Amino acid sequence: MTARVLVVDDEEAIRDAVCYALRSDGYEVDGRETGEEALDAVRAEPWDVLVLDVMLPGLSGIEVCRRIRAESDVPVLLLTARDAEVDRVLGLESGADDYVVKPFSTPELVSRVRAILRRRELDRGASFRRVGDVELDLARYEAHVAGERVRLTPTEFRLLSLLATEERAFTRREIMSHLWESLHVGDERAVDVHVANIRRKIEGDEAEPRRLVTVRGVGYRLVGV
């Protein structure tokens, strides 16, 4: 089945270029101009990836991402300005899976979309992992903590599933390399944002985490509780 990608950007030239590049790579693609249109489209139809500009008129890309995350686990790839680090952090905190900094090359963006889809397909073909009371059903993309369903973004789920593979600490670089399937992993601080998001969802007290713990000087480890 052909993957469906929704591109949301108010700059027509960028939107058209991204849509063209993704269609040339074999995807079914549609474009929207505003955040409101993006929300309507996501609620009306199934999508495999959402490419979302942060700077949209009216409803911002950050707010669109936040609202979508309350309803859907569709992967979100943000388009951000080069000097807007705060937007990238806010975007990840709102549930985005990855970001590409403007100006970008269309091959880079297509590669990121392809990696997101490939990771999700691989995860769907996997089975089941458990560490303590954290249970991960990789076939259904579902997470349960102490028997309660927890909604994770695709990237959060993939990060947690990596930590569940071995009883050891993983470095930030290892985590980023796993998430993006590349030796060029970009800003490793993005890992800290994803970890903070996960802790808010799986820890009783995120200030004193018991499950997803920091190993000082190394990185992060998933511990059975």
pLDDT tens by residue, 117-166? 877 776 665 578 889 899 998 877 889 999 899 999 888 998 999 999 88
How far apart, in whole angstroms, are the C-alpha atoms of residue 153 and residue 73? 6
Q: Over 90: is that where the pLDDT of 221 sits?
A: yes
Q: Which regions of the chain carry the CATH code 3.40.50.2300?
A: 4-122
Residues 61 and 53 sit within 8 Å (Cβ to Cβ):
yes
Q: Which regions of the chain carry the CATH code 1.10.10.10?
A: 125-222
How far apart, in whole angstroms, are the C-alpha atoms of residue 99 and residue 67? 18
Count CB atoms within 10 A of the CB of residue 14.
18
Considering the segment(s) 125-222 as one domain, its CATH architecture is Orthogonal Bundle (1.10)
> What CATH topology corresponds to 4-122?
Rossmann fold (3.40.50)
Calculate ∠ Cα 102-103-106, nearest 5°: 100
Backbone phi and psi for residue 116, each to the nearest 5 degrees, phi listed first: -60, -45
Region of residue 162 (phi > 0: left; psi between -120 and 50: alpha; otherwise: beta): alpha
User: Strand 142-145 to strand 134-137: parallel, antiparallel, or no bridges (unpaired)?
Assistant: antiparallel
pLDDT tens by residue, 108-119? 899 889 888 877
* pLDDT at site 184: 44
* pLDDT at site 119: 75
